[in-house]
Structure 1
C-alpha cells in the first residue's frame, strides 16, 4: 500500500509519523421478512462499520448508520460501500456526522458507492455533509441499480473548504460521477470536476462563487406537477433566494439542487425537500431521524 504522511499526526522532534493508506469495504444486505426489513448482511474489512439496525418508524423500515471510526479520510485512502435491498424491503441509511476528506499529500482518495435495489424495494441513502479540506484530491463514484418498481431517494451536501474556520478550497481537486439505471437501462448520469482555485469555482456553470452545494435525487413514479411546484416554492421561501435552488422532473427522476455558503442552510433545505418527496414517493411521513439532530 502507499505510504503517506498524515498532516494531523505529528511525531514531534522525530518528525511526522508515516502511516499506510487505508483500504476499507462494507457490504450491507437488507431483506423483507414477513413485513419486517432485516439487516442480514454487514460484512466489513478495515475501518467501516454499521451500528445495530434500528426501527424508529416501523418494522418495515430498517435504519442503519454507517460509521467510519477514523473520523476522516487522508490521501490515498479507498472506501467501498456496497448495499443491496431485496424485493419488498425498505432501508434507510445515513451517517452520524460529516465526512471529512483531508489534504491529499500527493495521493488521490477514492470512494465507491454501489447500491442495488430489487423490484418493489426502497432505499433512502442520506449521509450527512461531506467536507473537503483545502488540498484534498478526491474521486467519488456512485452507481445505483434499480429493479422494476423500485424506489430510491439519495442526497449529498458538499462543502468546499472549512469556511467556518476561515479556510477556502484553494488547491486540490474533486471529481464525482453518478449513474442510475433501472433494469440495466440508464436513467441518469452526471459527472463533474472542480479544481481548487480554478475558474470553475466562480463560473456560473459550476459553483458560481459558492462554497456549498447540495443535491437530492429521487427515482420512482412520476409525481404531480403541483408537487414539483411546491418543492420550488418552499425551497425559495426557506433560502430567500430563487437563484440558489432549483427542482426538475424528468419522467420518473426528480433532481433538486441548492448552492450557497451555509452547510446548515443546505441541511435545512435538504430535510425539507425530503419531507415533501418522501410521502408522495414512498407513502411514509418524513420524520427526521434523531441522529441528524445530535
Structure 2
C-alpha cells in the first residue's frame, strides 16, 4: 500500500559527536537539517508539507540510534487531523535504540477536528542501557458547534521491547460517541491529555519524590498520575485544559532526566 509520507533516519557516533548519517524522506514528510543546540547532539525537525492529515493518509517513520548516539526528534508544528469520512488516518513509527543511546521524542500536539478518525502505532526496540523519553499529547480541534470532542475516535498504541522482551504496552482509545469523556476515570472535566514514558538506567531510586516536586506547582490546573515500569522506567499521564501546560510539564520532566544524564536542557525554539 502506498504511503502518504515516509521518513527514515539513522544517528551514529563519530568521536564525541552524534551525526545523522542516513536520512530518507518521501511524500508529505520532510525533514530539516539537524540543528546543534548542544555541541555534540543534533535536534531534528520533521515537517508535514500537506497542511494537515485527511482520510486515507498513511505515514511511517523509522528511527535508528546506534551505540552511544544521542538525538532529539520533534515536529515543526501540530499534526492536524481533519474530517475522515471514508478511511481513518494511520500513522506508524518504529524506533531502534542501541546500548548507551539517548532518544528524546517530543512532537507537537495531535489536534483532532470534527469527524476525525486517527490511529497511531509505535513500536520501540531498545537494548538494555539505552535511554528513551517518548511523549505524546492529544487536543480536540475547533468544531462548528463549539463543543469539544467532536472527533469520531483516536487510538494510540505503544509497545516497548527491551532486549527482545515486551516491557510495556500502552493503549489509549478515545471515542466520544460511546463515552462521556468528561466523566470520572476518563477525562474528568479536562480536554487535553498528555503522556510521557521514560526508560533509563539513570532514573535512580528517588525518582518518585523528584517527579512529585516537578508536578506539584501544576496541581491546581491538571490531574496527573505516574507509575513504575519494570525496566527502570516510569509512565506519566497528564490531563489539562491547555496544550502549553502539558508541553511545559513534558519539557520539565525531560530536562530533569537530562540532568541525570549530564546533558544540557533541551531547546526547541519553534516560535
Shorter-chain TM band: over 0.9
Determine whether 1:32 maps to 2:7.
Answer: no
Higher strand proportion, which one? 2
Which of residues 248, 263, 268 in structure 2 aligns to 1:284? Answer: 263
Aligned to 1:93: 73
Alignment check: 8 A CA contact 1:161 1:211 kept: no
Higher helix proportion, which one? 1
Question: CA offsets per residue over residues 121-165 of structure 1, 9 Å max, x none?
Answer: 1111111111111211111101111013111111011112338x9
Determine whether 1:149 maps to 2:129.
Answer: yes
What RMSD over aligned residues (CA atoms) do the two structures have, in Å? Answer: 2.1
Which of residues 30, 33, 39 in structure 2 aligns to 1:49? Answer: 30
Instruction: For 1:80 and 1:167, locate their aligned partners in 2 and report how far apart those are by CA, in whole Å.
Output: 32
Aligned to 1:8: none
Alignment check: 8 A CA contact 2:9 2:20 kept: yes
Instruction: For 2:220 and 2:151, locate their aligned partners in 1 and report how far apart those are by CA, in whole Å.
Output: 31
Alignment check: 8 A CA contact 2:254 2:266 kept: no
The number of aligned residues is 270
Instruction: For 1:123 and 1:249, locate their aligned partners in 2 and report how far apart those are by CA, in whole Å.
Output: 20
Deviates more, 1:196-205 or 1:215-224: 196-205
Alignment check: 8 A CA contact 2:11 2:22 kept: yes
Question: TM-score of the superposition, structure 2-length normalised?
Answer: 0.92
Unaligned runs of 5+ in 2: none
Aligned to 1:250: 229
Aligned to 1:132: 112
Question: TM-score of the superposition, structure 1-length normalised?
Answer: 0.85
Instruction: For 2:159 and 2:183, locate their aligned partners in 1 and report how far apart those are by CA, in whole Å.
Output: 24
**Partner SS state of residue 207, structure 1:** coil
Unaligned runs of 5+ in 1: 2-20
